[in-house]
Amino acid sequence: MNKFMKLAINEAVNGIENNDGGPFGAVIVKDGKVIAKAHNCVLKNKDATCHGEMQAIRKASKKLGTFDLSGCEIYTTGYPCPMCSGAILWANIEKVYFGCDMQDAQKLGFRDKQFQEELSAKPNNIFQVDRQDCLKVYERYKQLKNKADYWFKKLAITPFAYFTNLTKHITQN
Ligand SMILES: [Zn+2]
């Protein structure tokens, strides 16, 4: 077994034994070294965003002192949900290794697959309001000097292709 996936599984087991949340653990690795280990704490923290990957990203960012986790890889017991997939992209994490897929999670009653499908369809519960007023804040931001450059790390592929590539990667291991 992959040693990092083993750590992610241990996290997931800790999580379910303590009733912290679902059976999901995640480990972030950089240059072969473990930066952060975490598990789902949705129930413990009473916070829907505390998925294993999100927890691991928060810990890793705190440890490295930056939101930018370029050069990092994440090992997760379950395929990242849309929220975590987004966070992985925002954090510039370069590779994802997952154990169970969305169908496996669905069998336990988790809605990852449903959300993925809903997000790829045109949502009917999102409404645009006061764009011009919101644009003024964007404009003000644009004028700021010394603002953070979020574009320094660009993925050459779209998120979907990104995850398709990752899927391929893990099946080769
Ligand atoms: Zn998630």
The answer to whether residues 31 and 71 touch, using CB atoms and an 8 Å cutoff, is yes
Q: Which amino acid is at 66?
A: T
Q: Determine whether 17 is an active site residue.
A: no
- The stretch 126-135 carries a mean pLDDT of 85
Q: Is the pLDDT of residue 84 over 50?
A: yes
- Helix H or strand E segment including 142: helix 131-143
Give the C-alpha separation, 22 to 32, whole Å: 27
Distance 54 CA to ligand 1 centre (A): 7
- The stretch 30-54 carries a mean pLDDT of 97
pLDDT at 27: 97
- The stretch 82-91 carries a mean pLDDT of 94
Distance 109 CA to ligand 1 centre (A): 14
Give ion ligand 1 contacts, CB < 5 A: 51, 81, 83-84
CA 46 to chain centre: 19
Closest CA to 76 of 44, 37, 111, 47: 37
Q: Is the pLDDT of residue 165 over 60?
A: no
Quick count: other Cβ atoms within 10 Å of Cβ 76? 27
Distance 10 CA to ligand 1 centre (A): 18
Q: Is the pLDDT of residue 52 over 80?
A: yes
Give the C-alpha separation, 149 to 128, whole Å: 27
Q: Which two tokens stand for residue 20?
A: 């912290």
The DSSP secondary structure of 96-131, one letter per residue, reads EEEEE-HHHHHHTT--HHHHHHHHHSPPSS-----H
Distance 83 CA to ligand 1 centre (A): 5
Least confident piece of the model among 9-13, 99-103, 110-114, 157-161: 157-161
Percent of the chain with pLDDT over 70: 84
Query: Which one of 17, 53, 118, 139 is the catalytic residue?
Result: 53
Distance 129 CA to ligand 1 centre (A): 28
Q: Which two tokens stand for residue 10?
A: 């241990």
